Chains A and B, each alone.
Chain A
Amino acid sequence: MLKGIAQHHGGGCMMIVKTGEKGVEFIGSGFLCHSKGYIITCAHTINLTDKLAVIPPQPLNEFNQLTLERVNFFDVTVAQFDPESDVALLKLTHPQPVSVPPNLIGDESSVQVGASVGYLGFPFGQAGLHTLKVSQSIISSKVKSTNGTKQFQLDAMVHEGNSGGPLIDIASGQIIGIISGRFSPTGSGGHIKIGNHALGTESTISYATSINYARALMESEGLNV
């Protein structure tokens, strides 16, 4: 079943990068959600002053380089942005013909605790790991964040770079969430760091924002979901 998820959704997953004088800098993951060239990601990956672009994944079923030596990126603009719910909708500046599976976007109401899920993304893309990672987990709980945003709790350790990737219900094959964060037993501040890695923030409890917030952005953009 996970193989089907990977084959079905792998091609639509993107690396989100910012571009500028310093070159291309990885900031997170995202996924195609509409044939008009729209991509969903997390709002927290984005600084609105940055020039953003996306990099498509390497061929899914081939042996790929860990680190891309050359990148072909496609410029995007921020079309909708909801930092409160931590969702953003990006649009390809020059949309290419893209194919998006029908009924791609699911609904939070159908998700039950204990359901098997898969999630895709580019963990440690900032450290030069540019290969798509397919992972699996279960919905371990349905929770609300401190500001009331509905989230799915996962029995998994999501890594830095995974944010913005799709959470997929294995039974239906639909995207039900957007990977957003990980529980940190030590909170979010005052860590000892090695390089850019904060110690004491690891746990096997992670979170994905409900896809319904992304639906709202797509509807606000006038897209049929």
Chain B
Amino acid sequence: MSDLLFEHQELFDAVNDLVPAYQKNKIIEFIKLDTDDETEYDQIGLSLTGEKRETGLIVPTSAPKSSGGSIWSAIKAEIYDYMCTSSRKYSKERKEAGITIKQIITIIATAIASSFHIAVGVVTGAVTVALLSFFKIGKNAWCKINTPE
């Protein structure tokens, strides 16, 4: 797993192939920022999953929300399982030679989609951002920051 190399072009290609058209520009612009600040990844991830939203002077007229789970946390937990542990769930994928970033995005997004009631494309953007944070921050630091409590 540590042999995985991160190349921007491969990531851009993955975004073009996997992310819905209405989210592509936002993610491509974020990749170009080239940040290694974990909080910035969290901010964009939470906005892509709808967990963080600027409403300004407009109050949403849905029913008041009761507290619920976090899909962004679930995505990061899935990446942690894949990248930071030797769990059986991803043992086959980890052994696979030449696995690409695009394949990892698809694997993680598929796992998340099957755990909840959403289509794979709904989370590919957020998975891409979370995976980018792993590569930019580095395996050791990312795994330490995201160790489940």
Give Cα A25 to B67, complex, Å: 12
* B74 at the binding interface (Cβ < 8 Å): yes
Q: A80-B20, A196-B64 are in contact. Are A181 and B58 (CB under 8 A)?
A: yes
* A120 at the binding interface (Cβ < 8 Å): no
Give Cα A52 to B63, complex, Å: 14
Give Cα A75 to B56, complex, Å: 33
* B68 at the binding interface (Cβ < 8 Å): yes
A45 touches B22 (CB 8 A): no
Which residues 1-60 of A have a CB within 8 angstroms of B? 25-28, 42-52
Most buried by A among B26, B58, B64, B116: B58
B63 touches A26 (CB 8 A): yes
Give Cα A189 to B58, complex, Å: 11
CB closest residue in chain B, given A47: B68
B48 touches A188 (CB 8 A): no
B62 touches A84 (CB 8 A): no
* B55 at the binding interface (Cβ < 8 Å): yes
Q: How far is the CB of B99 from chain A (nearest CB, A)?
A: 26
B60 touches A83 (CB 8 A): no
Complex contacts, B71 vs chain A, CB 8 Å: 47-49
Give Cα A167 to B121, complex, Å: 27
* B119 at the binding interface (Cβ < 8 Å): yes
Complex contacts, A138 vs chain B, CB 8 Å: none
Complex contacts, B59 vs chain A, CB 8 Å: 181-184, 188, 198, 201
Give Cα A43 to B122, complex, Å: 12
Which residues 18-72 of B have a CB within 8 angstroms of A? 20-23, 26, 47-51, 53-66, 68-71
* B92 at the binding interface (Cβ < 8 Å): no
CB closest residue in chain B, given A193: B64
* A159 at the binding interface (Cβ < 8 Å): yes
Selected contact of B61 from candidates A49, A181, A185, CB within 8 Å:
A181
Count residues on chain B whose CB falls below 8 Å from chain A CBs: 36
Which residues 120-168 of A have a CB within 8 angstroms of B? 123, 125-126, 145-147, 158-164
* A190 at the binding interface (Cβ < 8 Å): no
* B144 at the binding interface (Cβ < 8 Å): no
**Residues of A in contact with B (beta carbons under 8 Å apart):** 25-28, 42-52, 75-86, 91, 93, 123, 125-126, 145-147, 158-164, 179-185, 187-188, 196, 198, 201, 206-207, 213, 216-217, 219-220
**17 more CB-based (< 8 A) A-B contacts, given A45-B62, A84-B22:** A28-B63, A42-B60, A47-B71, A48-B122, A49-B116, A50-B68, A50-B117, A79-B119, A79-B122, A80-B119, A81-B50, A163-B60, A181-B59, A184-B58, A188-B58, A207-B58, A220-B22
What are 28 residue pairs bridging A and B, where the CB atoms are less than 8 Å apart in the complex?
A26-B63, A42-B62, A44-B50, A44-B60, A45-B60, A48-B123, A49-B69, A50-B69, A75-B117, A78-B117, A78-B118, A78-B122, A80-B121, A81-B118, A82-B22, A82-B23, A83-B53, A91-B119, A146-B55, A160-B61, A161-B63, A163-B60, A181-B61, A182-B58, A185-B57, A216-B21, A217-B22, A220-B20
